[in-house]
Amino acid sequence: MSASKVLLILGSGPNVGKSVAQAFIAKGYKVAHTSRKSRENSNTADEINIAADLSKPESVAEVFTQVKEKLGIPSVVVYNAAAYNANEPKNPVSLPVSTFAQDLTINVTSVYAAAQQAVAGFEQLPNPASRTFIYTGNIMNDKVVIGPLLTLGVGKSATAHIIQNAAAAYAEKGYKFYYGDERQPDGTPMYNEISGEAHATAYVELAEGAEQGPWQYTFVKNQGYKDFSQT
């Protein structure tokens, strides 16, 4: 089992990415971070940094190859990257098509590429391994429209469908797929107040769970999962 305790974070930032990494390290995981800028000078035997441009989906396979070579096959993959270019609030189709496509590449296409690579790796892992894929989402896939954030909302919605589909299709194999969605206690959006600590707690619980849970994992800090589907 120890050989398969590897976490890959695609889009490792100072809030969610950092907190999630620390929580998994405490559980005995080796961790690979990816970001646009190289931080390889801070690599250790159990924690590495890989420069990756997720606006290029073809780069995702190379990331997985590097992680496998340096740490082992990732048994937990967290896609934490997102991109948006603000459109005019009263004119949702004001962005150039090229800009719209660029944002969707990071928000959707590279997620698909990562899920594809994750599944290929999961097939090679022993049964006790976690084999969990988590996408850091938000409420925008089904509840909230934020005028200037069209590309982010479209991306979250499309990727939510990928996660829902994969969660159902791979459940019998023991591969778990989740759309992480932190909320306020009343179910309203977190906006810019998301908690890295809350994500870390939720993601460790999802990774350690034996079976697929609710694919849209709505959670509240210090309370865990809460079903807001009827609100």
Residue of 5, 156, 176, 221 marked catalytic: 156
Render 92-153 in DSSP notation, one character per residue: TT-S-HHHHHHHHIIIIIHHHHHHHHHHHHHTTS-TTS--EEEEE--GGGTT---TT-HHHH
Among candidate residues 194, 186, 201, the one with its CA nearest the CA of residue 231: 186
Is residue 156 annotated as part of the catalytic site, yes or no? yes
Q: Which two tokens stand for residue 90?
A: 């009263």
Q: What whole-number distance in Å separates Cα of residue 176 and Cα of residue 132?
A: 5
Q: What whole-number distance in Å separates Cα of residue 19 and Cα of residue 21?
A: 5
Query: Which residues belong to the active site?
Result: 156
